[in-house]
């Protein structure tokens, strides 16, 4: 069953969660969802600013979903609404089958969240913070210690568990937050900019922890970021969010594919027209162009790094050059702006606050 | 049958949450030594400087002035520590700790009660230190007066931690703290008759003392500790309890309507 909209009645299937809604035309729209999170027309308005603007999104079980957007795009607002910390102005969403507006306590019990800024208690040790939350989430007594040990190990903090959090580095704090978010074995975890304010090497190690998390815990991850390479590297699917709206949604490679694939430029050995008929037979070749007299052949292909050797079997080239479209190109094309051009005000402010702690 | 089992499970879970929240407050309190030392030092200073400064036997009470203000000093420490403790919620919010608690499946009331339990514990520890000092300067306590003292300290602390939490839930910035000190803590303390007897006051002052819940705590403590009071112990405790209930309701209401982010 797909996650589409079906108009009219269908028989119930127990293993899927169903979502009902009366449409504007008074017909019952019956939406079947084989996904963990279903966001429907979600809106959050602050005074005269619409932070989240009629958002619709389905997130499947066990996927890593990335919300990619610049400062102020509405990522945090969306996550706060999904975690029931913020009431939507209108619209709703279901998380693990619970409605975020009417069943907020149940939603909270089944999700974990790592906030943009660390939120553990500085005066307590890492272990004590985890213990506190294991009580808050009513982790059964018999498994409590085991679970705490598990999550500590997962984020590599076992050795520092008895240190007060104020003695932790920024990266360690982040990891502790992740451990805390996992303490009750949630089905979904939200990571709001998990690598914000980390130096390149801690960022890379954070990526490793997140990948490990994907492998070891059966969990759906929704992460927000404004780093292209982060989204590209970690996520199964990416939604690009801008001014509260999803403006592009797909797998990283398909998003990049939207740009027409990788561009390969070959400088031919002989300046005569090469025989390109063979290339046309490959499905990875989209376009062959610019067969100009100065001996330049330009191809548009999928996965240039892998397919280049094949191309070179048929074409004698003196030199080769290829460019891979980045998510930034996608962002640029969808918004007309560069993701890095955004005012960094919000980010720096949050970063400063992060440092301060 | 199953309902019963589920009910007990829910109660157990909530008790566990309360315990965890309380334990966090207590641990932080023990670790923040400077806070503990500072908040014990001030009342002691008052006790010895003001208490000895006025020195002589007070004409209207017939008790040594230092002993006379001792119950007032105990309530002073409770007033300060409780209101401050409650308004520390501003910090919890500022540093996002509160957000991490509120995103857990914990009701606002549970968080509220956990906080008040923490405030009561803090006040009790400080009162205990003062009582020990009191014994050293010749205050006599028997079992009954000790129990009475503890009860009053707990009630007053519950009431005022609620007030602190309520105010803290409305105030967003740490600057608001100064306002709380000037407009809540000091009036509560000065109008409680902690430093003067309740007799022969001008009408306006008498009225103000009458609407200050701490007045009844001071009077009850005087009754328990030095045996002089205006009202009966039962009346004082009754009025104090009424205030406490009202403040607790107000506090938990404010806490419930507070925004999570
Ligand atoms: N409490 C608030 N009151 C008014 N406006 C708000 C509030 N919180 C957020 N906003 C606005 O809503 C918009 C979306 O904010 P949000 O925090 O969701 O962005 P974000 O995508 O998480 O950005 P960042 O990358 O900086 O974290 C911004 O324009 C922000 O100024
Ligand atoms: Mg954000």
Summarised one tens digit per residue, pLDDT across range A71-118 is 899 999 999 999 999 999 999 999 999 999 999 999 999 999 999 998
Cβ pair A250, A327 in contact under 8 A: no
| Interface contact B109, partner A, CB < 8 A | no
Q: What are phi and psi of A31, to 5 degrees?
A: -110, 120
Locate all alpha helices (DSSP H) within A83-227, ordered by sequence.
104-110, 126-136, 141-154, 170-182, 200-216
Contacting B with CB below 8 Å, chain A residues are: 80, 83-86, 105-106, 108-109, 113, 115, 117-124, 128, 131-133, 135-138, 164, 180, 357
Tell which wins on pLDDT, B154 or B42. Answer: B154
Share of chain B above pLDDT 90, in %: 65
Cβ pair A221, A214 in contact under 8 A: yes
Instruction: Determine the Cα–Cα distance for residues B6 and B8; give it in Å rounded to an integer.
Output: 5
Question: Over chain B, what is the mean pLDDT?
Answer: 91
Q: What are phi and psi of A267, to 5 degrees?
A: -100, 115
**Distance in Å, alpha carbon of B104 to nearest chain A alpha carbon:** 6
Nearest to B105 among A105, A180, A357 (CB): A105
Please give the structure tokens belonging to residue A126: 């890492």
Domain count, chain B: 1
Which of B138, B149, B146 has the alpha carbon at shortest distance from B68?
Answer: B138
Ligand 1 center from residue B260 Cα (angstroms): 15
**Distance in Å, alpha carbon of B19 to nearest chain A alpha carbon:** 8
Q: Is A193 left (phi over 0), alpha (psi -120 to 50) or beta?
A: left
Which ligand has the shortest distance to the CA of B260?
1
Residue A31 has a pLDDT of 45
Cβ pair A114, A83 in contact under 8 A: no
Please give the structure tokens belonging to residue B256: 């419930």
* Residue among A42, A47, A49, A117 whose CB has most ligand 1 atoms within 8 A, to mutate: A49
| Interface contact B18, partner A, CB < 8 A | no
Which ligand has the shortest distance to the CA of A53?
1
Mean pLDDT of A210-236: 90
The CB-side HSE value for A123 (13 A sphere, CA atoms) comes to 15
Domains and CATH numbers, chain A: 1-33 (no CATH), 37-255+337-342 (3.40.50.300), 260-324 (3.30.70)
Query: Which residues are registered as beta bridge partners of A7?
Result: A29
pLDDT band for A227, please (50, 70, 90 cuts).
confident
Q: What is the bridge-based pairing of β-strands A90-95 and A35-46?
A: antiparallel
Cβ pair B215, B160 in contact under 8 A: no
pLDDT band for A291, please (50, 70, 90 cuts).
low
Instruction: Determine the Cα–Cα distance for residues A341 and A337; give it in Å rounded to an integer.
Output: 7
Q: What are phi and psi of B93, to 5 degrees?
A: -75, -45
Question: Over chain A, what is the mean pLDDT?
Answer: 82
Ligand 2 center from residue A80 Cα (angstroms): 10
Residue A11 has a pLDDT of 30
Tell which wins on pLDDT, B237 or A268. Answer: B237
Ligand 1 center from residue A60 Cα (angstroms): 26
**Is A20 a residue whose pLDDT tops 50?**
no
Instruction: Determine the Cα–Cα distance for residues A234 and A211; give it in Å rounded to an integer.
Output: 7
Q: What are phi and psi of A155, to 5 degrees?
A: -100, 10
Taking only the tens place, the pLDDT of each residue in B1-32 is: 677 888 888 888 899 999 999 999 999 999 98
**Count of A–B CB contacts within 8 Å?**
70
Residue A346 has a pLDDT of 43
Instruction: Determine the Cα–Cα distance for residues B185 and A254; give it in Å rounded to an integer.
Output: 63
Sign of the Cα pseudo-torsion (B252, A94, A173, A357, in order)? negative
Residue contact A133–B260, C-beta within 8 A: no
Q: In chain A, whose CA is at the least distance from the CA of B22?
A: A132
Q: What is the bridge-based pairing of β-strands A64-68 and A220-225?
A: parallel
**Cβ count near B145 (within 10 Å):** 17
Sign of the Cα pseudo-torsion (A56, A60, A62, A68, in order)? negative
- How many residues does this entry show for chain B? 261
**A284-323 burial code (b ≥16 CB/10 A, e <16):** bbeebeeeeeebebebbbbebeebbeebeeebebeeeebe
Ligand 1: atom nearest CA of A346 is 26
**Distance in Å, alpha carbon of A125 to nearest chain B alpha carbon:** 10
| Interface contact B16, partner A, CB < 8 A | yes
Taking only the tens place, the pLDDT of each residue in A153-205 is: 999 999 999 999 999 999 999 999 999 999 999 999 999 999 988 888 888 98
**Distance in Å, alpha carbon of B231 to nearest chain A alpha carbon:** 44
Which of B143, B234, B118, B127 has the alpha carbon at shortest distance from A132?
Answer: B118
| Helix B2-31 / helix B33-53 crossing angle, nearest 10 deg | 70
**Is A299 a residue whose pLDDT tops 70?**
yes
- Note the Cα A242 to chain centre separation in Å: 14
pLDDT band for A303, please (50, 70, 90 cuts).
confident
Residues of B in contact with A180 (CB under 8 A): 100
**Is A28 a residue whose pLDDT tops 60?**
no
Residue contact A135–B261, C-beta within 8 A: no
Q: Whose CA is nearest to atom 28 of ligand 1?
A: A72
Residue A244 has a pLDDT of 93
Taking only the tens place, the pLDDT of each residue in A59-71 is: 998 999 999 998 8
Range of the domain at B180: 2-257
Tell which wins on pLDDT, A276 or B139. Answer: B139
DSSP state of B63: S
E strands in A275-326 = 285-289, 296-301, 317-323
Q: What is the bridge-based pairing of β-strands A237-242 and A64-68?
A: parallel
Instruction: Determine the Cα–Cα distance for residues A13 and A108; give it in Å rounded to an integer.
Output: 26
Which ligand has the shortest distance to the CA of A343?
1
Share of chain B above pLDDT 70, in %: 97
- How many residues does this entry show for chain A? 357
Residues of A in contact with B104 (CB under 8 A): 108, 133, 136-137
Q: Under DSSP, is residue B35 helix (H, G, I), strand (E, B) or coil?
A: helix
Residue A344 has a pLDDT of 43
């Amino acid at each position: 069953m797909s996650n589409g909209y079906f108009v009219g009645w269908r028989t119930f299937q127990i293993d899927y969660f169903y979502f009902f809604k009366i449409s504007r035309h008074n017909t019952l729209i019956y939406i079947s969802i084989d996904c963990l999170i279903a966001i429907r027309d979600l809106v959050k308005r602050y005074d005269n600013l619409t932070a989240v603007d009629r958002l619709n999104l389905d997130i499947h079980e066990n996927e890593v979903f990335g919300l990619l957007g610049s400062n102020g795009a509405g990522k945090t607002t969306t996550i706060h609404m999904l975690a029931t910390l913020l009431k939507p102005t209108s619209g709703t969403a279901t998380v693990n089958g619970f409605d975020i507006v009417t069943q907020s306590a149940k939603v909270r019990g089944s999700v974990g969240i790592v906030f943009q800024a660390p939120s553990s208690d500085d005066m307590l040790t890492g272990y004590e913070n985890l213990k506190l939350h294991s009580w808050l989430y009513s982790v059964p007594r018999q498994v409590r210690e085991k679970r705490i040990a598990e999550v500590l190990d997962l984020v590599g903090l076992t050795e520092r568990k008895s240190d007060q959090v104020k003695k932790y580095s920024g990266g360690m704090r982040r990891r502790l937050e992740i451990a805390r978010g996992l303490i009750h074995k949630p089905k979904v975890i939200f990571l709001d900019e998990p690598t914000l304010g980390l130096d390149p090497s801690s960022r890379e190690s954070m990526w490793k922890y997140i990948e490990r998390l994907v492998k070891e815990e059966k969990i759906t991850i929704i992460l927000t970021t404004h780093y292209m390479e982060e989204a590209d590297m970690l996520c199964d699917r990416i939604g690009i969010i801008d001014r509260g709206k999803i403006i592009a949604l797909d797998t990283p490679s398909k998003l990049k594919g939207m740009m027409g694939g990788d561009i390969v430029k070959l400088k031919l050995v002989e300046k005569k027209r090469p025989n390109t008929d063979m290339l046309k037979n490959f499905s990875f070749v989209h376009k062959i162009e610019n067969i100009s007299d100065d001996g330049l052949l330009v191809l548009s292909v999928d996965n240039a790094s892998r397919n280049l050797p094949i191309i070179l079997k048929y074409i004698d080239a003196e030199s080769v050059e290829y460019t891979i479209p980045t998510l930034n190109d996608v962002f640029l094309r969808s918004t007309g702006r560069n993701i890095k051009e955004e005012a960094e005000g919000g980010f720096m402010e949050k970063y400063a606050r992060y440092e301060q702690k | 049958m199953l309902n019963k089992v589920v009910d007990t499970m829910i109660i157990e879970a909530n008790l566990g949450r309360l315990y965890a929240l309380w334990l966090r407050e207590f641990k932080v309190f023990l670790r923040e030594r400077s806070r503990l030392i500072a908040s014990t030092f001030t009342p002691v200073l008052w006790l010895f400087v003001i208490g000895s400064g006025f020195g002589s036997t007070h004409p209207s009470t017939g008790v040594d002035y230092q002993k006379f203000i001792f119950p007032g000093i105990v309530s002073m420490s409770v007033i300060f520590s409780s209101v401050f403790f409650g308004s520390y919620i501003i910090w919890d919010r500022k540093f996002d700790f509160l957000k991490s608690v509120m995103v857990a499946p914990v009701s606002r009331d549970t968080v509220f009660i956990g906080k008040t339990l923490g405030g009561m514990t803090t006040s009790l520890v400080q009162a205990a230190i003062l009582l020990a000092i009191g014994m050293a300067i010749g205050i006599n306590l028997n079992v009954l007066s000790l129990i009475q003292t503890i009860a009053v300290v707990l009630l007053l602390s519950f009431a005022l931690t609620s007030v602190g939490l309520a105010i803290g839930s409305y105030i967003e910035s740490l600057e608001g703290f100064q306002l709380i000190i000037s407009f809540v803590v000091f009036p509560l303390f000065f109008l409680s008759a902690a430093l003067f007897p309740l007799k022969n006051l001008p009408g306006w002052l008498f009225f103000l003392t009458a609407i200050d819940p701490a007045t009844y705590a001071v009077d009850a403590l005087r009754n328990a500790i030095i045996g002089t009071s205006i009202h009966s112990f039962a009346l004082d405790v009754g009025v104090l309890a009424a205030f406490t209930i009202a403040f607790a309701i107000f506090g938990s209401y404010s806490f419930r309507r507070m925004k999570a982010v």
